């Protein structure tokens, strides 16, 4: 029986280019040589079996050198003082809602039928076969501290490192100075900062394998438990008789728990929308939660080879044209078990849409609870959320891997499907009022975003940084030609007013940060140009300065007074990575950015992709805390603590945690978050919370998680 | 351990296991990233040669998994295994194979990421149970339990989807239960 199973499993396995003796082929030989070359070059660095170096493949010999655009004297325009765009429905934007349910059904059927293929909606946007378990990404912003009840004074404390002030992002830990609330390993824990003890704990559903995040306001919290399969619902519909078996989308849902923190933590209410959790933002007590769902339509799959591809597609189109409205309309389940559907009147669509994905925004007022979540739905795809106090932007980075393979058929035989042009679609919602957000419109730009930091709404304009990969296939060396641009769009129409392009030819964006009318972009393949962009004139954004350095920054943080902190990896001039680096840049002269100071830890693996929430900068004392990765689960995590002065960066030391309990494969090892409360640095890992003196890093307390 | 020994070990390990590690990565990410990561795995193996167990294949897979997880962390995605399976299914020319692959892709999508890992590690890369356990950083007995449960869940989904009887997916379901 075991052999039987092996046979079927093997039959289900996609073939890859590695399966035909790759390691002993010329391609394998080249890879082995590259590995040896890297090892030889690394030989001079100190050996620490403890740490591991990340290495890049051997690349092109010469770095591309970029011509710096010099700002003409007097050429920079004063900042625009345009009045903020009207947030009611602007006249020149087509607000497209369906006129009626019948109108909506006709529109969805037509657009979805045009998107369907011989196997249904496989690999399409929003269809169930999209990877259902998108991990929660870094959402970063510095939120204002939560206002305290009168008569109380909590110590000064840090908050989640968010992108936009006043807009909180879900994270695994929140504090108001008196109390720390954290979710990890399937439990919500409350820690009292005065007694340094865990005062409350609540086991969350899901057995600890679901990623969870928190949003807290006052004594209320929303726990966001991310997508998991809805075991109560059959994933596919069996067909009648012995006919063709049907394939349907995978029912995925996420669950949001309203928690009361005024006493021992307890669940007050919950809501489970069908669809994938995308992200959420909170302003004050109001949370906007974004969920993506696909149409629930079943397609036959096994037809004994009687139909051609074209015939299957035609048959599937007919199925789509007969599907009921309920197939598309998103639903959510209340704590009482009642299922609710978004009404047609709350569904809008951009001019062009595929019908294969619906984005629903639920509005949750923490004080009022989950009785009325006012969902609004947009027939569009999305995976990146960016919020300001007035607007919610949802962007979709087309996952072109869903349909195409860049380097030829790496998986399976057959012709290589053509890759669609990369573009990013952006949808904007007005969230100034309480209750449901208003859909304002959509726009698109070429290329793909890195993350939410690629977007920035300022002074009536939306700046977007994207990278475009050129060509329809890979270059022989395996790389993709690419370049990056920043587009400026009018926020009310989302029409492009100007752009500056050709940043970092042959490179990709590694970090972006917009600070007021300026933008900073880091591209990298071997060396790291840090570009300074002047975005004052929306019709003519331009590059004013460039700094070429070895290594790169993966995260940029404004440090005030014309300085920027960069965290990433150092590398040699051939682009081979050589350890964690933290830099302090002086960007006060936009034509001549330069580095003031740098700390390199050649004994630590660099941060290839820093989660902004894991970064801490406390301006009052200049303290910077950066996590240091640990590869081995048996060793506890560490963070590096530095101090920023006017012109320098000094290492204060390291804070370490003991090794945590081994849980189900959880690669969020190490110290995940750092906070400042009063005069101490509080660090959080799955093992517990450590309190250290901010000035000396001396141990003050250790709060283990049982 | 001197450099000569390390280099010899690296060569031996690469020739013996490079295919499988690359296949693992190609099933979960784009070819460029897979290529980058397979190189990183073996560079790390060289650096830590003295500490790598023999045979090293479980350790190599565990390292590949960690590198992939770290890469994906910044990009808000987990691996693209299900997407790869769906693409592969869509390209199948023989209807039996297509149906099996579709059924597998679809039901795998309904399982947790942990279940998917344990199911694919067990059958696709020639790993013994001990090696697969090492790849998942868990004990062999824990691995055995997880594998059994994952198989039952997969079989359950296949059956509730109507895959039983003489078609390939039905046979897979039966074999999983067995």
Would you say A402 and A376 are in contact if contact means Cβ atoms under 8 Å apart? no
Nearest to A129 among B73, B83, B138 (CB): B83
Task: Kindly determine whether residue B23 and residue A399, on different chains, have CB atoms separated by under 8 Å.
Answer: no
Asked whether the predicted pLDDT for residue A683 surpasses 90, the reply is yes
Confidence at residue A508, expressed as pLDDT on a 0 to 100 scale? 76
Which residues in chain A have Cβ-Cβ distances shorter than 8 Å to B50?
49
The helices-and-strands tally (H runs, E runs) of chain B is 9, 0
User: For an interface test with B, which of A40, A41, A129 has the most B Cβ atoms less than 10 Å from its Cβ?
Assistant: A129
Mean pLDDT computed over A29-56: 61
Q: What are phi and psi of A294, to 5 degrees?
A: -115, 165
Mean pLDDT computed over B23-37: 89
The whole-angstrom separation of Cα A407 and Cα A27 is: 14
Cβ count near A26 (within 10 Å): 8
Question: pLDDT tier at B148 (50, 70, 90 boundaries)?
Answer: confident
pLDDT in tens, A537-566: 999 999 999 998 888 888 999 998 889 999
Confidence at residue A499, expressed as pLDDT on a 0 to 100 scale? 93
Task: Kindly determine whether residue B106 and residue A250, on different chains, have CB atoms separated by under 8 Å.
Answer: yes
Confidence at residue A421, expressed as pLDDT on a 0 to 100 scale? 65
Confidence at residue B143, expressed as pLDDT on a 0 to 100 scale? 87
Confidence at residue B73, expressed as pLDDT on a 0 to 100 scale? 58
Nearest to A12 among B19, B83, B101 (CB): B101
Cα-based distances in Å from A319 to A120, A312, A315: 10, 11, 6
Q: How far is B139 from chain A (nearest CA, A)?
A: 11
**Which of A58, A68, A18, A19 shows the shortest CA–CA distance to A504?**
A68
Which residues in chain B have Cβ-Cβ distances shorter than 8 Å to A400?
none
Confidence at residue A407, expressed as pLDDT on a 0 to 100 scale? 29
User: For an interface test with B, which of A8, A126, A408 has the most B Cβ atoms less than 10 Å from its Cβ?
Assistant: A8
Mean pLDDT computed over A486-506: 90
User: For an interface test with B, which of A20, A128, A236, A292 has the most B Cβ atoms less than 10 Å from its Cβ?
Assistant: A236
ipTM above 0.85, yes or no: yes
Task: Kindly determine whether residue A662 and residue B94, on different chains, have CB atoms separated by under 8 Å.
Answer: no
Which residues in chain B have Cβ-Cβ distances shorter than 8 Å to A122?
86-87, 89-90, 102, 105
The whole-angstrom separation of Cα A499 and Cα A338 is: 49
Residue A173 backbone zone (phi > 0: left; psi -120 to 50: alpha; other: beta): beta
The whole-angstrom separation of Cα A120 and Cα A602 is: 51
Task: Kindly determine whether residue B106 and residue A474, on different chains, have CB atoms separated by under 8 Å.
Answer: no
Diameter of chain B measured on Cα atoms: 59
Would you say A182 and A249 are in contact if contact means Cβ atoms under 8 Å apart? no
* Closest chain B residue to A298, measured at CA: B161
Asked whether the predicted pLDDT for residue A43 surpasses 70, the reply is no
Task: Kindly determine whether residue A246 and residue B63, on different chains, have CB atoms separated by under 8 Å.
Answer: no
Task: Kindly determine whether residue B39 and residue A4, on different chains, have CB atoms separated by under 8 Å.
Answer: no
Cβ count near A77 (within 10 Å): 13
Which residues in chain A have Cβ-Cβ distances shorter than 8 Å to B34?
410
Asked whether the predicted pLDDT for residue A195 surpasses 50, the reply is yes
Confidence at residue A253, expressed as pLDDT on a 0 to 100 scale? 74
Q: Which has the minimum average pLDDT: A55-59, A150-154, A203-207, A666-670? A: A55-59
Task: Kindly determine whether residue B99 and residue A245, on different chains, have CB atoms separated by under 8 Å.
Answer: yes
pLDDT in tens, A570-628: 887 766 667 889 999 999 998 999 999 999 987 776 555 678 999 999 999 999 999 88
Q: Which has the minimum average pLDDT: A99-113, A164-178, A657-671, B8-22? A: A657-671
Confidence at residue A42, expressed as pLDDT on a 0 to 100 scale? 67
DSSP letters of B106-166? HHHHHS-HHHHHHHHHHHHS---HHHHHHHTTS-HHHHHHHHHHHHHHHHHHHHHTT--SS
| Burial class (CB within 10 angstroms; exposed 0-12, middle 13-18, buried 19+) of B163 | buried
The whole-angstrom separation of Cα A702 and Cα B36 is: 39
Confidence at residue A118, expressed as pLDDT on a 0 to 100 scale? 66
**Which of A661, A551, A559, A648 shows the shortest CA–CA distance to A608?**
A551
The whole-angstrom separation of Cα B28 and Cα B73 is: 14
Which residues in chain B have Cβ-Cβ distances shorter than 8 Å to A479?
32
Confidence at residue A512, expressed as pLDDT on a 0 to 100 scale? 92
Confidence at residue A354, expressed as pLDDT on a 0 to 100 scale? 82
Distance of CA A156 to the CA centre of its chain: 29
Cβ count near A368 (within 10 Å): 13
Asked whether the predicted pLDDT for residue A406 surpasses 70, the reply is no
Q: Which has the minimum average pLDDT: A371-380, B89-98, B147-156? A: B89-98
Which residues in chain B have Cβ-Cβ distances shorter than 8 Å to A248?
106
DSSP letters of A489-507? EETTT--EEEEEEEESTT-
Mean pLDDT computed over A40-63: 37
**Which of A44, A62, A65, A66 shows the shortest CA–CA distance to A53?**
A44
Cα-based distances in Å from B107 to A102, A250, B113: 33, 8, 12
Question: pLDDT tier at B70 (50, 70, 90 boundaries)?
Answer: confident
Would you say A279 and A288 are in contact if contact means Cβ atoms under 8 Å apart? no
Q: How far is B56 from chain A (nearest CA, A)?
A: 16
Asked whether the predicted pLDDT for residue A228 surpasses 60, the reply is no
Asked whether the predicted pLDDT for residue A408 surpasses 50, the reply is no
Which residues in chain B have Cβ-Cβ distances shorter than 8 Å to A238?
160-162
Q: How far is B173 from chain A (nearest CA, A)?
A: 9
**Mean pLDDT, all residues of chain A:** 76
| Structural Rg of chain B based on CA atoms | 18
Would you say A247 and A298 are in contact if contact means Cβ atoms under 8 Å apart? yes
Which residues in chain B have Cβ-Cβ distances shorter than 8 Å to A398?
none
User: For an interface test with A, which of B19, B125, B148 has the most A Cβ atoms less than 10 Å from its Cβ?
Assistant: B19
The more confident residue out of A451 and A155 is: A451
Q: How far is B29 from chain A (nearest CA, A)?
A: 9
Residue position matching structure tokens 């990890």: A184
Residue A468 backbone zone (phi > 0: left; psi -120 to 50: alpha; other: beta): beta
Which residues in chain B have Cβ-Cβ distances shorter than 8 Å to A15?
88
pLDDT in tens, B38-67: 999 998 898 888 888 888 999 999 999 888
Task: Kindly determine whether residue B178 and residue A4, on different chains, have CB atoms separated by under 8 Å.
Answer: yes
pLDDT in tens, A54-70: 322 222 111 211 112 22
Residue position matching structure tokens 């591809």: A309
Task: Kindly determine whether residue B102 and residue A301, on different chains, have CB atoms separated by under 8 Å.
Answer: yes
Beta-sheet pairing, A461-469 with A482-490: antiparallel
Residue position matching structure tokens 């092109």: A60
Length of chain B: 178
Asked whether the predicted pLDDT for residue A16 surpasses 50, the reply is yes
Which residues in chain B have Cβ-Cβ distances shorter than 8 Å to A554?
74
pLDDT in tens, B85-130: 877 776 777 777 877 887 787 778 777 778 888 989 988 998 988 8
Nearest to B89 among A8, A119, A234 (CB): A119
Which residues in chain A have Cβ-Cβ distances shorter than 8 Å to B32?
406-407, 474, 478-480
Task: Kindly determine whether residue A413 and residue B16, on different chains, have CB atoms separated by under 8 Å.
Answer: no
Task: Kindly determine whether residue B74 and residue A137, on different chains, have CB atoms separated by under 8 Å.
Answer: yes
Cα-based distances in Å from B62 to A66, A577, A610, A633, B25: 40, 22, 21, 11, 12
> Which domains, and CATH codes, for chain B?
3-73 (1.10.1740), 83-177 (1.10.10.10)
Helix (H) or strand (E) segment spanning residue B176:
helix B168-177
Confidence at residue A248, expressed as pLDDT on a 0 to 100 scale? 53
Whether the pTM exceeds 0.90: the reply is no
Would you say A164 and A389 are in contact if contact means Cβ atoms under 8 Å apart? yes
User: For an interface test with A, which of B89, B151, B174 has the most A Cβ atoms less than 10 Å from its Cβ?
Assistant: B89
Over A202-234, what HEC string results?
EECCCCCCCCEEEEEECCEEEEEEEEEECCCCC
Confidence at residue A161, expressed as pLDDT on a 0 to 100 scale? 94
The whole-angstrom separation of Cα A274 and Cα A254 is: 7
Nearest to B137 among A23, A129, A633 (CB): A633
Give the side-chain half-sphere CA count within 13 A for B143.
Answer: 21
Length of chain A: 706
The more confident residue out of A228 and A97 is: A97
| The dihedral sign for the CA sequence A28, A29, A34, A40 | positive
Cβ count near A409 (within 10 Å): 17
Mean pLDDT computed over A437-449: 90
Which residues in chain A have Cβ-Cβ distances shorter than 8 Å to B48?
49, 52
**Mean pLDDT, all residues of chain B:** 83
Confidence at residue A3, expressed as pLDDT on a 0 to 100 scale? 77
User: For an interface test with A, which of B72, B96, B145, B162 has the most A Cβ atoms less than 10 Å from its Cβ?
Assistant: B162
The whole-angstrom separation of Cα A314 and Cα A303 is: 14
User: For an interface test with B, which of A2, A5, A12, A661 has the most B Cβ atoms less than 10 Å from its Cβ?
Assistant: A12
Asked whether the predicted pLDDT for residue A190 surpasses 80, the reply is yes
The more confident residue out of A520 and A89 is: A520
| Burial class (CB within 10 angstroms; exposed 0-12, middle 13-18, buried 19+) of A306 | exposed
Which residues in chain B have Cβ-Cβ distances shorter than 8 Å to A228?
112
* Closest chain B residue to A614, measured at CA: B74
Residue A478 backbone zone (phi > 0: left; psi -120 to 50: alpha; other: beta): left
Which residues in chain A have Cβ-Cβ distances shorter than 8 Å to B90?
117-119, 122-123
Residue position matching structure tokens 């989302």: A494
The whole-angstrom separation of Cα A148 and Cα A502 is: 48
Asked whether the predicted pLDDT for residue A217 surpasses 90, the reply is yes
Tell me the count of A-B CB pairs closer than 8 A.
308
The winner for highest mean pLDDT among A93-102, A501-510, B90-99 is A501-510
**Which of B24, B149, B147 shows the shortest CA–CA distance to B79?**
B24
Percent of chain B that is helix, strand, coil (3-state, to 5): 80, 0, 20
The whole-angstrom separation of Cα A396 and Cα A124 is: 13
The structure tokens listed for A182 are 């954290």
Cα-based distances in Å from B70 to A54, A184, A637, A674, B24: 11, 18, 15, 19, 16
Is the previous residue joined to B55 through a cis bond, with omega within 30 degrees of 0? Answer: yes
């Amino acid at each position: 029986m075991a052999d039987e199973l092996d046979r079927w499993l093997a039959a289900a396995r996609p073939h890859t280019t590695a399966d035909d003796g790759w390691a002993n082929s010329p391609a394998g030989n080249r890879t082995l040589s590259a590995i040896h070359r890297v090892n030889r070059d690394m030989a001079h660095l100190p050996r620490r079996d403890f740490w591991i170096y990340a290495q890049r493949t051997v690349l092109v010999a010469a770095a591309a050198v970029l011509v710096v655009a010099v700002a003409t004297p007097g050429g920079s325009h004063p900042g625009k003082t345009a009045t903020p765009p009207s947030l009611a429905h602007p006249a020149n934007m087509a607000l497209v809602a369906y006129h009626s349910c019948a109108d909506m059904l006709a529109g969805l059927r037509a657009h979805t039928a045009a998107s369907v293929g011989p196997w249904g909606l496989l690999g399409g946007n929003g269809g169930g076969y999209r990877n259902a378990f998108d991990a929660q990404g870094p959402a970063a912003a510095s939120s204002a501290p939560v206002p305290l009840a009168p008569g109380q004074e909590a110590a000064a404390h840090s908050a989640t490192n968010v992108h936009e002030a006043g807009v909180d992002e879900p994270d695994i830990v929140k504090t108001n100075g008196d109390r720390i609330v954290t979710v990890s390993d399937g439990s919500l824990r409350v820690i009292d900062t005065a007694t340094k003890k865990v005062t409350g704990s609540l086991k969350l559903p899901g057995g600890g394998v679901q990623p969870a995040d928190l949003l807290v306001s006052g004594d209320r919290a929303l726990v966001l438990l991310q997508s998991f399969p809805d075991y109560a619902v059959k994933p596919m519909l069996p067909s009648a008789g012995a006919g063709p078996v049907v394939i349907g989308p995978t029912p995925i849902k996420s669950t949001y728990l309203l928690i009361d923190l005024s006493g021992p933590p307890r669940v007050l209410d919950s809501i489970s929308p069908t669809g994938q959790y995308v992200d959420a933002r909170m302003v004050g007590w109001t949370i906007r939660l974004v969920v993506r769902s696909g149409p629930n339509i079943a397609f036959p799959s096994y037809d004994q080879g009687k139909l051609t591809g074209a015939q299957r597609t035609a048959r599937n189109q007919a199925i789509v044209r007969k599907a009921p409205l309920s197939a598309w309309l998103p639903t959510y389940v209340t704590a009482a078990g009642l299922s609710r559907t978004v009404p047609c009147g709350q569904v809008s669509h951009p001019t062009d849409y595929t019908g294969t994905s619906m984005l629903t925004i639920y509005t949750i007022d923490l004080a009022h609870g989950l009785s009325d979540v006012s969902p609004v739905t947009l027939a569009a795809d999305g995976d990146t959320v960016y919020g300001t106090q007035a607007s919610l932007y949802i962007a979709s980075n087309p996952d072109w891997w869903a349909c195409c393979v860049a380097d030829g058929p790496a998986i399976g035989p057959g012709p290589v499907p053509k890759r669609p042009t990369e573009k990013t679609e952006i949808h904007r919602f007005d969230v100034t009022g309480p209750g449901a957000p208003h859909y304002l419109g959509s726009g698109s730009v070429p290329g793909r975003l890195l993350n939410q930091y690629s977007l920035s709404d300022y002074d009536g304009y939306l700046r977007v940084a994207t990278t475009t990969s050129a060509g329809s296939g890979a270059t022989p060396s395996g790389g993709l030609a690419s370049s990056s641009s920043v587009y400026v769009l009018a926020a009310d129409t989302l029409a492009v007013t100007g752009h500056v392009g050709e940043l970092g030819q042959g490179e990709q964006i590694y970090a972006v940060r917009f600070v007021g009318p300026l933008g900073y972009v880091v591209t990298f393949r071997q060396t790291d140009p840090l570009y300074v962009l002047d975005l004052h004139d929306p019709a003519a954004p331009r590059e004013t300065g460039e700094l070429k350095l070895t290594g790169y920054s993966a995260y940029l943080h404004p440090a005030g007074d014309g300085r920027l902190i960069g965290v990433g990896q150092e590398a040699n001039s051939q682009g081979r990575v050589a350890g964690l680096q933290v830099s302090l840049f002086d960007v006060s002269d936009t034509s001549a950015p330069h580095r003031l100071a740098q700390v390199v830890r050649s004994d630590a693996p660099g941060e290839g992709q820093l989660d902004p929430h894991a970064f801490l900068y406390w301006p009052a004392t200049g303290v910077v805390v950066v996590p240091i990765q640990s590869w081995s689960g048996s060793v506890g995590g560490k963070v590096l603590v530095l101090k920023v002065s006017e012109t320098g960066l000094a290492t204060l030391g390291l804070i370490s945690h003991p090794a945590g309990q081994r849980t189900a494969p959880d690669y969020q090892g190490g110290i995940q978050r750092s906070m400042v409360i009063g005069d101490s640095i509080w660090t959080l890992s799955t093992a517990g919370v450590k309190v250290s003196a901010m000035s000396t890093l001396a141990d003050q307390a250790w709060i283990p998680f049982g | 351990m001197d450099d000569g020994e390390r280099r010899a070990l690296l060569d031996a390990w690469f020739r013996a296991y490079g295919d499988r590690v690359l296949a693992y990565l190609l099933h979960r990410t784009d070819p460029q990233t897979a290529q980058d990561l397979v190189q990183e795995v073996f560079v790390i193996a060289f650096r830590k040669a003295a500490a790598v167990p023999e045979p090293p294949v479980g350790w190599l897979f565990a390292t590949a998994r960690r590198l992939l997880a770290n890469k994906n962390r910044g990009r808000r995605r987990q691996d693209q295994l299900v997407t790869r399976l769906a693409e592969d299914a869509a390209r199948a020319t023989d209807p039996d194979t297509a149906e099996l692959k579709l059924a597998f892709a679809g039901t795998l999508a309904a399982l947790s990421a942990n279940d998917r890992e344990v199911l694919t590690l067990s059958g696709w890369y020639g790993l013994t149970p001990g090696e697969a356990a090492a790849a998942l950083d868990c004990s062999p007995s824990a691995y055995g339990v997880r594998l059994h449960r994952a198989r039952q869940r997969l079989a359950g989904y296949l059956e509730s989807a109507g895959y039983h009887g003489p078609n390939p997916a039905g046979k897979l379901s039966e074999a999983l239960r067995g």
